[in-house]
Structure 1
Amino acid sequence: MSGQGDVIDGRFELLERLGSGGMGTVWRARDTVLHREVAIKEVRPAGPELTAEQSRVLRERVLREARALARLNHPHVVTIHQIVDIPTSPHPWLVMELLPGRTLQDLLEEGTLTPREAARIGRELLSALRVAHAAGILHRDIKPANVLLRERSPQDAGGAPSVVLTDFGIASLSGSTQLTATGDLIGSPEYIAPERIRGTGEGPAGDLWSLGLVLYVAVEGVSPLRRATSLATLAAVLDEPVPSPVRSGPLAPVLGALLVRDPALRPDADRLDAMLAAVENGITWQPTATSERPADSVGPPPAVAAGPPPAEPRTRTRTRTRTPVIVAAAAVALALVAGGALVLALRGGGDTGGHGRQADKGGESPGPTTPPASSPKAPPASGTWIAQLFSEPVGSGEAARDRRLAAVRKDVPEASYVRSDAYASLRPGFWVIYAPGPFADGRAALRFCAERGRADGDACIGRYLSSSGGDSGLLCKPPVSAPVGRCTRA
């Protein structure tokens, strides 16, 4: 076991232990040849002593991490200086740049971020992933503990720290040999994409799923998919419905686009960057009729301004003081409590699909577990305005739908539901819980809701049901006095 004062490879003097995890220890060290401080990662897995074959696999994995990082030259990817592979040592070492600061996990322990802050961080991480993916590298372990915060230069004093993605130790390079036996799964369970768990193939979309979870926990501060055991967490990632976010505001539609279990339906990097840029610039991103395009379409979709965004209060409620420490560029840390958000958005709207939060008091599934007495005999005719009160993914099951409906009916007794697949103006795959009206336009629907205590966009929106996809942008949001969006068909 190495200790403070040891000199590695006759050159790197260990000064201070910065952190430890399941795959080793990171030190602050002094390069006695170049007279600079570096981060050096001692790759020594926790647990029993490895067999000769396990040591060989570990060494190859570390070499792969070094090669992956060496192929990338990007301001948001950690820089590797060299690898120390001493024949007489059972474990290799990685020498990397030393980044003053802390991890995103440290930052989130002080409180959540605003949607705009999270969007900025998301764009920087996405830029790193785009470079990695172009080089044939999948990260496969994106989580807050692997995101370092680099302080701005003196010229940019006062600006928010930039982020640096690190720990490519389980990255998958194109053409490389798999390093685990069949059935082995490496990574933090709550951040693993569903397709990786199923073994149905991997690609860049898996990293985007993980990025979506990082952004979700950054703004929501909760982990709805994490369970008491790793196996239970994996089961939740595969099959359990993910609650709608309640704090994400304009970021919610972006999370909804990312956190879908079919990787083919997630946005590509170009489209995602456009979505995040809109949120960062204070615009609520809304998919338009032309943005629902095949994955191979060229160029990002347009972003539609939905009026001035509301002020974003800072949500860091914890005020304990942290003394910034120098965090190693390849810090190995325990996984942050993480989660995912399945934003139940309908096509054409920037709404979260979580309309009806007033009815269920914060997202718990209240009310009876038996189906309500009545259900719709036929969907409303095309060309009808409704007051949309909630949306539930069809995959959640009919019992979940009926619990939501029962909760909404406490203050809107006439509420009913319809399946969104019946209308081209709605995004398929959801049960839409609504008040039928009839309403002359979206404003009338909002007035109806306001009379029943549903005066905000998380409780009600005016929605136009149509057989034409061109009507997907007909969306009317509170406030009633000055509604946002398209409230009439004219």
Structure 2
Amino acid sequence: MSMSESARRPLVDGRFELVSRLGSGGMGTVWRARDIALDREVALKEVRPPDPAHEEAAPGLTAQLRERAVREARALARLSNPHVVTIHHIVEPQDGSHPWIVMELVEGCSVQDRLAQGPMPVSEVLRLGRGVLSALRAAHAVGIHHRDVKPANVLLRPDGDAVLTDFGIAALHDQTTRLTATGDLIGSPEFIAPERIRGQEGNPASDLWSLGMLLYVAAEGHHPLRRATNLATLVAVLDEPIPEPVRSGALAPVLTRLLVRDPALRPDGSELRGLLKAAEEAPEAQPAPAAPPAPVPGPQVWPLPGGSAATVPDSAAVPSPAPVPEPQVRPLPGGSAATVPDSSPAPPNGTFGPPVPPTTRRRRGLPILLALAAVLTAGTFALVRWLPDGGTGGADRATESPGLGAPAGGGQDTPASGPPATPSETSPGPGQSPQAAAPEKPRGSLLTTANVWTVIDAFREVSGTTRFKELTVYEEYALASIPTEPGARTYDRFEFRDGTARRTGVGGTIRRDDADEQPFDAAALDWDALPDLMKRGERELDVENPSTRYLIVGRWTFNSDQPTLRFYLSNEYHATGYLAADGKGKVVATYPAT
């Protein structure tokens, strides 16, 4: 590095003039710079720990970062895609000091910066997804896995196009040297795929999980699996259910397909591209059309007697035409009717209106006659119903004509007071048996002993079993993973909402060698202990003003020999804590918010 005599700014390699620092992280610092040879602005990545103490604590860190810098440069040089940051040059000083990567300067902000302002509209998230997917497909085509797709590593150009950056920890298929010590975790805990946490190097599907989580966060405005510590977050990524998206609209089915823990069940890049395109074309993903401009009123031409016409200014300056009075038809004794002139007052002086053609008069009069006939008929029925006697009232009449409001047979009068029965309180409709009536919708939160039993019974009705791989109960709905049949290695997904349970699709495969995935009998748990468990959580989890409560039941990594109840609290500031209890409600672990 030297100093420019003209600007007195540091020069890198005698050519790149540092202007300002753009940001820094674990891989080094990124600067805005000017290439004085080509007179253009570029981004320079200074590859060294931003804190010298890091290098002192790990003497080999500088060499490792150098190798990573070369890896990133080579990875990016193999890609040609508008959604991948372009690399121009790599500077390797002869004195052995840290290298510099010269890259395209992307004006704009990162997705992380954009999300600090709130969730993104679904249409923008879909565009973001297509851009990042395009970059990942280009990388995967040449054997590169990014391994760290997250909001901070995606930049947004001023026109909204996404650019994927930071391939510093990318895995190259033809690279055999490992750059991390055995057991080190590569990637950000919140966005890393479950299989990578388990130690599998992963494949393109692992990057697609990270993309799915990025899109979830962008649309929903929060991370569904972020916990108080990195360890708790990793546990959540491994086996906790992902809350159903509520803001994602047409994107929601795509997220459901992507965020499954079995990588073999995720769509590949080509299929995902089609899913995003279909979601983008869905009506709910389109921006609302602008309201059409209000018509500008013009002069009105009204006919006058004798066939002439008068031009009248627009209706803003002249009162609306008064309605033409209609004759009234009134019933007379014996079934005849009399036409009576309308008693409405005449229009005020100076107010004129166009005469109504005869056809219009007849069209208006017909509904009035029909409505009047219906009112008279209903009044006659009501009068007959309440006559004290006279051959048409009383129990005998009710028995003969059950359609008039009394039950057929029995000779008993219906009560004269009380609200009428609603359809759900009467006999089933045509083609239904009494047993086929719709189940009663649970009242209030599902997180009560009685309502949890209602949920379990509803899932049993549609699946034939009370054995679950996992059961998650929110206050408004519940999700379940249920084996396809007794002893099966496969499971399906189910949902309970508004009093009804239904199968929502294929789940995945139950690994027999994984204790965390083995089914359990939900009917054997002590649900009477749930209220006390929740009260203890409210006292001990230290979550201020909790906005979300839910319960996850399944075999837990730290207690996999039996089903575990985990009660969670979280608030809008992402503070989360949970209690873990055994099947009898005894608390075995507490993880308060920090």
TM bin (shorter chain): 0.5 to 0.7
CA, structure 1 residues 395+62, in 2 after alignment: closer, same or farther (shift >3 Å)?
farther
**For the residues of structure 1 that align with 2:217 and 2:36, how far apart are their CA atoms?**
41
Per the alignment, residue 55 of structure 1 pairs with 62
Distance 2:47 2:269 in 1: 32
Alignment of 1:157-172 (within 5 A): 161-172=160-171
Q: Distance in 2 between matches of 1:123 and 1:377?
A: 37
Aligned: 1:211 with 2:215: no
Q: CA contact under 8 A between 1:420 and 1:431: conserved in structure 2?
A: no
Partner of 1:193: 193
Residue 119 of structure 2 aligns with an amino acid whose one-letter code is T
Residue 168 of structure 2 aligns to which amino acid in structure 1? Answer: G
SS in 1 for 2:31: strand
Greater relative contact order (Cα 8 A, min sep 6): structure 1 or 2? 1
The secondary structure found in structure 2 opposite 1:49 is helix
Partner of 2:550: none
Alpha-carbon deviation of 1:185? 1.2
SS in 2 for 1:90: coil
Native 8 Å contact 2:149 2:210 kept in 1: yes
CA, structure 1 residues 37+393, in 2 after alignment: closer, same or farther (shift >3 Å)? farther
Q: Tell me how many residue pairs correspond in the alignment.
A: 337
Map of 2:470 onto structure 1: 396
Q: CA deviation at 1:228?
A: 2.0
The CA deviation at 1:150 is: 1.7
Cα separation, 1, equivalents of 2:74 and 2:148:
17
Matches of residues 107-146 of structure 1 in structure 2 within 5 Å? 107-146=114-153
CA distance in 1 between counterparts of 2:267 and 2:183 reads 29
Distance 1:369 1:209 in 2: 37
Give the Cα separation in 2 of the matches to 1:408 and 1:67. Answer: 49
Q: Rate the CA distance shift 1:103–1:358 in 2: closer, same or farther, 3 A.
A: farther
Aligned counterparts, 1:178-327, within 5 A: 178-281=178-281, 283=282, 308-309=283-284
Q: Deviations over 1:115-164 (max 9, x none)?
A: 22211110111111101000000001111111111234xxxxxxxx2111
Give the AA of the match of 1:221: G
Distance 1:96 1:232 in 2: 36
Partner of 2:20: 16
Q: Does 1:70 align with 2:77?
A: yes
Once the two structures are superposed, what CA deviation does each residue of 1:331-367 show, in whole Å capped at 9, x if it has no partner? xxxxxxxxxxxxxxxxxxxxxxxxxx99777xxx733
User: How high is the sequence identity, in percent, across the aligned residues?
Assistant: 54
Counterpart selection for 2:448 from 344, 367, 384: 367
CA distance in 2, matches of 1:372, 1:179: 52
Contact 2:123–2:286 (CA<8 Å) still a contact in 1? Answer: no
Q: Report deviation, 1:310.
A: 7.6
Shift of 1:48: 2.4
- Asked if the contact 1:28/1:38 (under 8 Å) is kept, the reply is yes
Question: Equivalent residue for 1:151?
Answer: 158
CA distance in 1, matches of 2:284, 2:79: 37
Query: Counterpart amino acid of 2:186?
Result: I
Q: Distance in 2 between matches of 1:256 and 1:172?
A: 27
Structure number with greater Rg is 2
Deviation at 1:312, TM superposition (A): 5.9
Q: TM-score, normalised by structure 1?
A: 0.62
Separation in 1 of the partners of 2:216 and 2:94?
44
Aligned to 1:327: none
State how far apart, in whole Å, the 2-side matches of 1:233 and 1:428 are: 25
Instruction: Name the stretch that deviates more: 372-381 or 186-195.
Output: 372-381
Distance 2:255 2:198 in 1: 22
Are 2:178 and 1:96 equivalent residues in the alignment? no
Q: Deviations over 1:288-319 (max 9, x none)?
A: xxxxxxxxxxxxxxxxxxxx4387689xxxxx
Distance change (3 Å), C-alpha of 1:225 and 1:313: farther
Whether the 8 Å contact between 1:359 and 1:408 is mirrored in structure 2 is no
Decide whether aligned partners of structure 1 residues 184 and 359 sit closer, same or farther in structure 2, where only a CA change above 3 A counts. Answer: farther
Q: Confirm or deny: 8 A CA contact 2:143 2:173 kept in the other structure.
A: yes
8 Å CA contact 1:5, 1:15 repeated in 2: yes
Q: 1:393 to 1:431 in 2, by over 3 A?
A: farther
TM-score, normalised via structure 2 length: 0.51
Say if 2:467 and 2:482, in contact at 8 Å, map to a contact too.
no
| Further displaced range: 52-61 or 255-264 | 52-61
CA distance in 1, matches of 2:237, 2:42: 37
Q: In the aligned structure 2, how far is the partner of 1:418 from the partner of 1:238? A: 15
Q: C-alpha separation between the residues in 2 aligned to 1:273 and 1:393?
A: 37
Residues 1:359 and 1:181: Cα distance change in structure 2 (over 3 Å): farther
Give the 3-state SS of the residue equivalent to 2:126 in structure 1.
Answer: helix
40-49 vs 209-218, which deviates more? 40-49
Residues 394, 429 of structure 1: 8 Å contact kept: no
Which letter does structure 1 place at the counterpart of 2:147?
R
Q: Measured at CA, do residues 377 and 129 of structure 1 come closer, stay the same or move farther in structure 2, by a change above 3 Å? A: closer
Change (3 A) 1:55 1:375: same
Q: Give the direction of change, closer, same or farther, for the CA distance of 1:367–1:269 in structure 2 (3 Å limit).
A: same
Alignment partner of 1:247: what SS?
coil
Deviates more, 1:42-51 or 1:201-210: 42-51
- CA 1:360–1:94 in 2, change beyond 3 Å: closer, same or farther? farther
Shift of the 116–60 alpha-carbon distance from structure 1 to 2, 3 Å rule, reads same
One-letter amino acid matched to 1:32: I
Instruction: Describe the superposition over 1:46-83 as per-residue Cα deviations: whole angstroms up to 9, x where unpaired.
Output: 34225553322211111000000000011110000111
Superposed CA offset, 1:90-112 (max 9, x none): 31111011111111112121121
Q: Residues 122 and 376 from structure 1, CA distance in 2 versus in 1: closer, same or farther, beyond 3 angstroms?
A: closer
Distance 1:408 1:84, change over 3 A: closer
Q: How does 1:342-361 map to 2 (within 5 A)?
A: none
Question: In 2, distance between residues paired with 1:137 and 1:228?
Answer: 32
Choose which of 71, 82, 85 in structure 1 pairs with 2:89: 82
8 A Cα contact 1:220 1:245, kept in partner: yes
Pairwise CA RMSD? 3.6
Question: Aligned in 2, Cα 1:310/1:137: closer, same or farther, shift over 3 Å?
Answer: closer
Cα 1:2/1:258, change in 2 over 3 Å: farther
SS of 1:433's equivalent in the other structure is strand
* Ranges in structure 1 where 5+ consecutive residues have no aligned partner: 153-160, 284-307, 315-356, 383-391, 410-415, 438-490
Matched to 1:25, the amino acid is T
Conserved? CA contact 2:82–2:163, under 8 Å: yes
Alignment partner of 1:276: what SS? helix
Structure 2: how far apart are the matches of 1:23 and 1:16? Answer: 18
Return closer, same or farther for 1:419/1:180 CA change in 2, 3 Å cut-off.
closer
Alpha-carbon distance, 1:377 to partner: 9.8
Judged with a 3 Å threshold, the aligned counterparts in structure 2 of structure 1 residues 187 and 200 are, in CA distance, closer, same or farther, namely closer
What letter is aligned with 2:284?
Answer: P
Alignment CA distance shift 1:359-1:223 (3 Å)? farther
* Residues 1:433 and 2:439 aligned together: no
Partner SS state of residue 48, structure 1: helix
Structure 2 counterpart SS, 1:309: helix
